[in-house]
Amino acid sequence: MVTQSRVKDLLDYNETTGELINKARRQGIVVGTIAGTTNTSDGYRHITIDYKIYAAHRLVWLYIHGELPEFLDHKDSNRLNNKLSNLRVATKSTNNCNQLLTSRNTSGVKGLTWYNDKNYYYARVRLKGKTTCKAFPVKYGIDKQQALTLATEWVRAKRLELHGDFVNHG
C-alpha cells in the first residue's frame, strides 16, 4: 500500500487544477507532466506507483490527509475533477446516491420507470439497501405528462429527504 510520504516523493499536487504532477524521474515518466492516464472504461485518471495502479482522486486525498478512506465521492460527479474541494469521504451507499442518470434511463428522470402494460410511472429511491417506491398511474383526469410531473416531484423530494448532501437528481 502506498504511503503519503511515497506519494509526496513522486508527485506534487496543484490545488488550482486538482492535478498531480510528476516531480521525480521514473521509467517512462517526464518530470513536470500531469501524472497518470485517463481510463476510458471507468472515466477516472489512474496513476501507477511501484507497479500498482491507483485512482488519482484517492492519491490526492492521501497526499493531503495522509489516509485512504474506503470510499471517496466527487461532489460534482466529474471523475476528472480532483480538486480537494470536490472530494469528500463517503460510504458505499452515499456514494451511490450521487450517481448520474444512466444511459439506460428512458424517462429522463433518475429513479422513474414507465410501465406501458400497467400504464403508470413507477418511482424508486434507494438508501442503504432499502427501497422507497410509489406508483403514479395514468387515469381519469391525469394524463401521462401529469403523471410524469407528479412522479418527478415526488422522487426528487424523496431523494433530497433521504440522500441529503449527496443528492444528485441526474
Rounded percentage of the chain residues whose pLDDT exceeds 70: 99
Closest to 57 (Cα-Cα) out of 39, 35, 79: 79
If pLDDT is split at 50, 70 and 90, which confidence band does 54 have?
Answer: very high
If pLDDT is split at 50, 70 and 90, which confidence band does 96 have?
Answer: confident
Q: Is the pLDDT of residue 103 over 80?
A: yes
pLDDT value of position 140:
82
State the average pLDDT over residues 46-71: 96
- Domains, in order of start, for the chain: 4-90 (3.90.75.20), 100-166 (1.20.5)
- List the single range of 50-54, 70-74, 148-152 with lowest mean pLDDT: 148-152
